Structure 1
Amino acid sequence: MDIGLSSACFYPDLHTENSIEKMKELGFNHGEIFLNTVSEYEEEFIKILLEKKESCEFNVNSVHAFSSSFEPYLFDKYYRRRADALKHFKSVCKATKLLGASCYTFHGMRYTNFNELDKKFIIDIYNELSYIAMESGVKLAQENVSWAMSSDLKFLTFLAEKCKYPTYFTLDLKQACRANVPIEKYIDIMGNNIVNLHINDRDEISSCLLPGKGNLNYKNIANMLKSVGYSGKGIIEVYSDNFSNYEELTKAKNFVFEIFSDIL
């Protein structure tokens, strides 16, 4: 498995456009680009990222948006609010395509009781979003997020069974731990529709650590991913306070690569 890095690791210390060169300097040839604010969805800014990407010979695997600012409102019953959020969604899909990424890492709805959902409304929205993404040439990759509906196994099963178009997924290890849901249960539901993988670690004290700093059993995780045919990239995604110097990110990459390359 090729191991990449998320530009989110550098937030808020580096501007998004400067993170590409830094990731390349640290030995990463690909990664996930986190667009940190609405102005970074604009085409002129994406052109700056594209120039940086090409000059550094860096590949963008996936794109992540400032999701809390608009994604939950894609499911709002107030049409105008939903329409405004959809404009941002379309901009991110376009940015994802322009950067050559294969998928858009999506958080979606905030958590609520599954039984209280207007399920037809939700499926109609997901069908629309998936269609827009497909028209843009990218996959909408629903991430399991502890504070979102996507932490709920029933909800993910519902999407996988009821959506008109294929439901793709980003599996995030730390988010599974935060939701107190065994990672294997997410893998069972997501199956061969996992298209993106966020790698991190955890222990009894912290839910997010650099790979190798906690006690996750990566060999078991790799074997589970192999069993569902995962062949995508692995993206290290932690927070800037999870490391004290950039060299630790390179060490984490080498650690993960050694484990996953033996199995996947």
Structure 2
Amino acid sequence: MPGRYDVNLEIGLSTAALYPSHLTEDALTTIAGLGFRTVEIFLQAEEEYTPTFGAELDRRRRDLGLRVHSLHLYAPYFDLWSPYPRMIQETRARFRRLLEIATTLEARALTWHGLRYGVDNPRLIAAFFESAAWAGEQAQTAGVTLCIENVSWCYLRTPDQVTAIRQADLPVGFTFDTFQAGESGTDPAALIRAMDSRLATVHLADYAPGGPRHLPPGEGTLDWPSILQALQAVGYDGPLILEPAHVENTTILLRARDFVQQALTNVALTENRTP
């Protein structure tokens, strides 16, 4: 049985929220200035997958007092299941550089979309599972958890697919994304239950049918009490990473943080009420 609801789950922010108006390293300064202390860093360009760039990020996050929870991979750079030998070699080398950066930044997790085309092709799914086994083992050796994210247009979209990955005993965790669950028409709570103890990162953005993608929490139609209750039920105690898209007015991020904090408080008042 879960204990009392933890209203103090940390609310962090992804640098992706400030893309493309901010360079990744400059986004850290803005994020710290808004009062956030935990971040996910989305590495957007080839230049950002180098030890030199990792060292610059490390200098900045230390100067700013930020904790890097996770790194988000740019999906097209990590098609690890490619059948072409030279591409496999190149992509694996990039992944190893990514792990060096994660170690430098003391990140705990990586967020990966995984298979992003041919998502119902059994041959590609098998190759994806094989590549995830390799990458997950490499990450574990580096002290990092490789987390496959639920994404509406990628392989991982349903609870059954989460179960398939778990039953294959792949050495990976999961990133749960609220917007992607909404866009795929999947019950968010069902995805969370399927991920269970393997859930290592949570992305928060809202969804509205026919509306802009990746809305700030509170501006769409998602059932936030149900989502937060499901996270509590599986014992999730990691950060909640805000990930709205293309934010130009940073007061939107403060409003989103306040919304999530109030939602946590409201759920706690309900869950912790004495019978």
Q: Answer whether TM exceeds 0.5 for this pair.
A: yes
Gaps of 5+ in 1: none
**What are the Cα deviations for residues 64-123 of structure 1, in whole angstroms up to 9, with x where unaligned?**
12222x222x01122221121111111112211211110000111124354623665443
State the identity %.
28
Distance 2:248 2:126 in 1: 47
The reply on whether 1:71 has 2:78 as its aligned counterpart is: yes
CA contact (8 A) 1:104 1:141 kept: yes
* Corresponding residue SS for 1:149: coil
Report the AA paired with residue 176 of structure 2: L
**Does the CA-based 8 Å contact 1:200-1:208 persist in structure 2?**
yes
Match of 2:255 among 235, 251, 255: 251
Residue range with higher mean Cα deviation, 83-92 or 109-118: 109-118
**1:59 alignment counterpart:** 67
Q: Which residue matches 1:15?
A: 23
Deviation of 1:170 after TM superposition, in Å, equals 0.3
CA shift for structure 1 position 209: 0.9
8 Å Cα contact 1:123/1:163 also seen in 2? no
Counterpart position of 2:189: 184
CA-to-partner distance for each residue in 1:215-244, whole Å, 9 max, x for gaps?
22211111011111111100000111xx45
Note if contact 1:71-1:107 (Cα within 8 Å) is conserved in structure 2. Answer: no
Q: TM-score, normalised by structure 2?
A: 0.88
Which deviates more, 211-220 or 112-121?
A: 112-121
Count of residues in Structure 1 that have an aligned counterpart in Structure 2: 259
Contact 2:14 2:241 in 1 (8 A): yes
Per-residue CA shift, 1:19-50, capped at 9, x if unaligned? Answer: 11100111111110011111101111111111
- Amino acid in structure 2 at the alignment position of 1:81: M
Q: Distance in 1 between matches of 2:117 and 2:197?
A: 25
> 2:35 maps to which residue?
27
What's the secondary structure of 1:105's corresponding residue?
strand
Distance 1:164 1:18, change over 3 A: closer
- CA distance in structure 2 between the partners assigned to 1:210 and 1:101 by the alignment: 25
| One-letter code aligned to 1:54 | R
CA distance in 2, matches of 1:128, 1:92: 14
Q: Mapping of 1:160-199 within 5 angstroms?
A: 160-165=166-171, 167-199=172-204
User: What is the RMSD of the two structures over their aligned residues, measured on CA atoms?
Assistant: 1.7
Q: CA deviation at 1:260?
A: 2.0
Give, in angstroms, the shift of residue 212 of structure 1: 1.3
Q: Structure 1 117/152 Cα, relative in aligned 2: closer, same or farther at 3 Å?
A: farther
CA 1:245 to 1:168, structure 2 compared with 1: closer, same or farther past 3 Å?
Answer: same
The answer to whether 1:129 aligns with 2:121 is: no
3-state SS in 2 of match to 1:117: helix
- 2:21·2:248 contact (CA, 8 Å) conserved in 1? no
1:211-230 pair list within 5 angstroms:
211-230=217-236
Letter in 1 for 2:95: F
State the TM-score, normalizing by the size of structure 1: 0.92
Give secondary structure in 1 for the equivalent of 2:186. Answer: coil
For residues 15-164 of structure 1, what are the structure 2 equivalents within 5 Å?
Answer: 15-68=23-76, 70-72=77-79, 74-114=80-120, 116-117=122-123, 120-164=126-170
CA–CA separation in structure 2 for the residues paired with 1:155 and 1:58: 34
Equivalent residue, structure 1, for 2:272 = none
The 3-state SS of whatever aligns with 1:75 is coil
Offset from partner CA, 1:127-157 (integer Å, 9 cap, x none): 2111100111100011011121112443322
Q: Quote the Cα distance in structure 2 between the aligned partners of 1:113 and 1:27.
A: 39
